[in-house]
Amino acid sequence: MNIPESINVLLIGGGAREHALALGLTDSPRMGTLYATHMENPGIATLAQPIDVPASGKELYRLVQFCDRVNIGLIVIGPEEPLAQGWADTLRKKADGSPRLVFGPGAKGAMLEADKAYAKQMMKAASVPAAEGKVFTHFNHLEEYLNTRDDVFVIKATGLAKGKGVIVPSTNAEGIKAARDMMEKRIFGDAGKKVLVEQKLNGTEVSVLALFDGHNILVLPPCQDHKRLADGDQGPNTGGMGAFCPANTIDEKTMQQIESEVFVPIADVLRRDEIDFKGVLYAGIMLTPAGPKVLEFNVRFGDPECQPLVTRLESDLLELLWATAQGTLDQVDVKFSPKASVCVVLASAGYPQNPEFGDVITGVEDAEAIEGVRVFHAGTKLMENGFLVTSGGRVLSITALADTIEQARDLAYKAADEIHFKGMQFRNDIAQNAPVHS
Ligand code: AMP
Ligand code: GLY
C-alpha cells in the first residue's frame, strides 16, 4: 500500500472516543504530529498539539488553511455534528482544490444518522431488515394513528437530539405525550419537526460497526453497549454507560448475515446515489426471534464502543483509518487481539438530566497503574492549580483488556474503585450477562 512514512493528522472531537482514537493514532510508527481541536480534554492534550485557528463551522476555510500550512495528511472526524454539517466535504479539499484524506462521510452520507426518515427510506430501498416505521409531520395525524393501535410504538425525533430523541414508552398515551413535546413544544428544536413512529422490537441489542472506503467493507468485531443509566437496564437512556467487545451474544453466522443483509445493500444504495461514504457506519441491531433488525445507523464510532474496540486493535490504527479514507481497505492488515475488553463509564452527579460540574476527581493515576487498564477522559478539566475536576456528564471511560470478559470486567471495576468524585455514578453490571468468552 502506498502509505507515507510519516503522516500529520488532525483529530476533531473531544470525548473519550476521541481520546481513545488519539492514543491509537499516536501508537503508530507512521504518526507525524497529531493536532487536535479539543485540547481542553486533558487526555488528548497529553498526546496532541493545539491548532491556532477556530474549529468552527462558520470559519471552516481557516481550518482548511491550517491543514495546508502544517501539511495535514489525514483528518479524523469523531462526532456526528460536524459530519452532519458537511465538514468532511469542505475539509476534503485543500485551498488549491487538490484532495486531502478525511475519515468520515460528507453531509449526504451523514444523513443516515442525522435524518432518521431518510435512513428509513434508504433501508427500504436496500431491503435492509428493520423495524416497520411511519414518519409524521403533523402531530394530530400521529395522535390519530396511535389512538387506533393496540400495540405500543417507539417514538423517534428524526433529527439529531444528542442521543435523547428516542422514547420507548410503556403505553401509547405516554408516546403521544412524548411526540407532542417534540412536535409542538419543540423540546429538541427542529430535530423533532418530523417524528418517526416505529414498531417496538424485543431482543438483545448489539452494535456492529463497519468501515466503508467507497469500494470495500470491513466489518469490525461486534460490541455491546449499555444505554440505560442504572443496573438491570433501569432508568433513563444515556449516551452509553459502558460497553464490551467482543459481544458474544452474536454468532459468526449472524455477523455474516448482517454483512450481507445490512452493510452490502446499504453500500450499494449509497453508490447508486453517488454518495462517497468513507468512514465508519454503525448499525444498532436488535437480535429478534425473526433475525437481526436495524434500529438505527450512526455515521461515526460509538461512544463508548470505540474504547474497547480500539483497545483490542493490535494492528496500526493510523494505517486503517488512512486506508479507509484512501479507498484501499483491501490492502491493509487488520488484527484484533483475541482478548476481551470492557469499558465502564463514570458519570457525574445528576447525569443525564442535570449533570453537575466542578467536582474534584482523584485516583486516575492509581487506576491506570493497574496492568491492562486505560482511563479515557471525556468530561474532565485540568485546573491551573493542578486539580482534575468534572466538566461534563460522562466523565471518564475506564477500559480494561484481559483474557476473558470476566477478567476484563473485574479489572475495570478494580480501577473504578480507585477513582472518586462527588456523586460519581456508574453501573455495576457492565458485561455482566455476557456469556463466558472462550
Ligand atoms: P437509538 O438512539 O435509535 O439507538 O435508540 C436508543 C435506544 O432505544 C436503542 O438502543 C434501543 O434500546 C431503543 N430502541 C430504539 N428503537 C427501538 C425499537 N424499534 N424497538 C425497541 N427499542 C428500540
Ligand atoms: N453508544 C451509542 C452511540 O454512540 O450512539
What is the H or E stretch that residue 296 is in? strand 291-298
419 Cα: distance to centroid of ligand 1 (angstroms): 31
Looking at residue 58, the DSSP 8-state letter turns out to be G
pLDDT reading at 436 higher than 50: no
User: pLDDT-based confidence at 435, cuts 50/70/90?
Assistant: low
Mean pLDDT score across all residues of the chain: 96
How remote is the CA of residue 231 from the centroid of ligand 1, in Å? 18
**List of domains in the chain:** 8-106 (3.40.50.20), 132-199 (3.30.1490.20)
Q: Relative to the CA of 227, which ligand 1 atom is closest? A: 10
Nearest CA to 279 out of 417, 98, 92, 16 is that of 92
Summarised one tens digit per residue, pLDDT across range 368-406 is 999 999 999 999 999 999 999 999 999 999 999 999 999
Dump pLDDT digits (tens) for 112-161: 999 999 999 999 999 999 999 999 999 999 999 999 999 999 999 999 99
User: Is any atom of ligand 2 closer than 6 Å to the C-beta of 15?
Assistant: no
For 363-374, what is each residue's pLDDT tens digit?
A: 999 999 999 999
Give the cell for residue 341. 475488553
12-43: string of b/e by CB count within 10 Å (b at 16+)? Answer: bbbbbbbbbbbbbbbebebbbebbbbbeebeb
What count of other Cβ atoms lies within 10 Å of the Cβ of residue 278?
A: 24
Does residue 1 register a pLDDT over 90?
A: no
Element (H, E) at 105: none
Cell numbers at 59, concatenated:
470559519
| CA dist., res. 419 & res. 410, Å (int) | 15
Give the model's pLDDT for residue 109. Answer: 98
Quick: pLDDT tens for 32-46: 999 999 999 999 999
C-alpha cell at 78: 469523531
Nearest listed ligand to the Cα of residue 294: 1
Interatomic CA distance for residues 225 and 219, integer angstroms: 17
pLDDT at position 434 is 59
- Ligand 2 in contact with 224 (CB < 6 A)? no
Whether residue 438 has pLDDT greater than 70: no
Q: What percent of the chain is modeled with pLDDT above 70?
A: 99
Q: Is the CB of 166 under 6 A from ligand 1?
A: yes
**pTM of the model as a whole:** 0.96
Return the C-alpha cell found at 125. 430501498
Q: What pLDDT does residue 162 have?
A: 83
Neighbours of 375 (CB within 10 A): 26
Judged against a pLDDT cut of 90, whether residue 73 lies above it is answered with yes
Nearest CA-CA partner of 413 in 405, 362, 311: 405
Using a 6 Å cutoff on CB, does residue 131 contact ligand 1?
yes
Q: What is the distance between the alpha carbons of residues 275 and 423, in angstroms, rounded to a whole number?
A: 45
Q: Is 240 in the pocket of ligand 2 (CB under 6 A)?
A: yes
